[in-house]
């Protein structure tokens, strides 16, 4: 158990809908990262938050947004969903914001868009 | 596009044998990390090697880094069936953020 929790574990929704994925980092970790894993794209970095502020942005679509709250939990919002958004979405956390630290991954949310 | 490329894509060995996976990357880095993923589950950190290090050990794992060739290798010695998983290298692309760029991974099967 990494100490990172993600809810829900599974999500099935229809195209055009909007969903929210939730992540609670390990106690004491200030950075939260979101990654998308799909068969065709592999593991892709989406976005990083550090202590409530956006720190780095990757291949995140404009239909996707995220935020980190004062209690450090984070939410990833996916809207106008398309079939191609079906994937595993991972949240990870680390103590600080730089790459010199290992990241602790949650179990993931499997999103299926039908 | 992903920075890391891993070789081989799939590897099947017998228990007790050694497994070697290679990773190549395109840009300069500060650190390189290896992660393991059991089928459909979250990634687990294995080892981090800094750009000024050439080799690092952790239990049955040995990682090497050659920054001149922009490549790294992960050696698992005396493999066990429980080592069956996908293995990914990840680099920070010399950024000062925590962003990780993952390779496509090597799927390792260890037969009992």
Tell me the pLDDT tens digit for each residue of A26-45.
Answer: 999 999 999 999 988 899 99
Average pLDDT, chain A: 94
Residue in B2, B43, B92 closest to A99 by CB: B92
Interface check B63 vs A, CB under 8 A: no
User: Which residues 6+ apart lie within 8 Å of B110 measured at CB?
Assistant: B13, B14, B15, B17, B19, B79, B80, B81, B82, B83, B84
User: Do residues A91 and A48 lie in contact, with contact meaning Cβ atoms separated by under 8 Å?
Assistant: no
User: Which residues 6+ apart lie within 8 Å of B97 measured at CB?
Assistant: A48, A55, A56, A97, A98, A99
Query: What is residue A68's predicted lDDT score, i.e. its pLDDT?
Result: 98
Contacts of B42 in chain A (CB under 8 A): 2, 4, 90, 105-108
Task: Looking at the complex, report in whole angstroms how far the Cα of residue A49 sits from the nearest Cα belonging to chain B.
Answer: 9
Query: What is residue B3's predicted lDDT score, i.e. its pLDDT?
Result: 58
How far apart CA B37 and CA B42 sit, in angstroms, is 6
pLDDT band at A59 (very low <50, low <70, confident <90, very high): confident
Interface check A98 vs B, CB under 8 A: yes
Residue A84 has pLDDT above 50, yes or no: yes
Out of A50-59, A80-89, B56-65, B68-77, which region has the weakest mean confidence (pLDDT)? A50-59
User: Do residues B88 and B100 lie in contact, with contact meaning Cβ atoms separated by under 8 Å?
Assistant: no
With 0-12 / 13-18 / 19 or more C-beta atoms within 10 angstroms meaning exposed / middle / buried, residue B76 is buried
Query: What is residue B1's predicted lDDT score, i.e. its pLDDT?
Result: 42
Taking residues A10-16, report their average pLDDT.
Answer: 98
Q: What is the pLDDT of residues B51-101, one digit of tens each?
A: 999 999 999 999 999 999 999 999 999 999 999 999 999 998 777 788 899
Q: Between residues B13 and B99, which one has the greater pLDDT?
A: B13
Interface check B39 vs A, CB under 8 A: no
């Amino acid at each position: 158990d990494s100490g990172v929790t993600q809810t829900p574990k599974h999500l099935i929704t229809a195209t055009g809908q909007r969903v929210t994925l939730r992540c609670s980092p390990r106690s004491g970790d200030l950075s939260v990262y979101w990654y998308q894993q799909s068969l065709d794209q592999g593991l892709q970095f989406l976005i990083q938050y550090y202590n409530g502020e956006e720190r780095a942005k990757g291949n995140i679509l404009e239909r996707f947004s995220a935020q980190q709250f004062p209690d450090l939990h984070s939410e990833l919002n996916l809207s106008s969903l398309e079939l191609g958004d079906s994937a595993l979405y991972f949240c990870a956390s680390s103590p600080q914001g730089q790459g010199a630290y290992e990241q602790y991954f949650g179990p993931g949310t499997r999103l299926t868009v039908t | 596009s992903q920075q890391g490329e891993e070789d081989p894509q799939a590897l099947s060995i017998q228990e007790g044998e050694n497994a070697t996976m290679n990773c190549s990357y395109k840009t300069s880095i500060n650190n390189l990390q290896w992660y393991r993923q059991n089928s459909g589950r979250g990634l687990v950190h294995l080892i981090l090697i800094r750009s000024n290090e050439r080799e690092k050990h952790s239990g049955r794992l040995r990682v090497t880094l050659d920054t001149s060739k922009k490549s790294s290798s992960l050696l698992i010695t005396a493999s066990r069936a429980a080592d069956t998983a996908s293995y990914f290298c990840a680099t920070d692309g010399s950024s000062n953020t925590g962003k990780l760029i993952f390779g496509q991974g090597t799927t390792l099967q260890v037969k009992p």
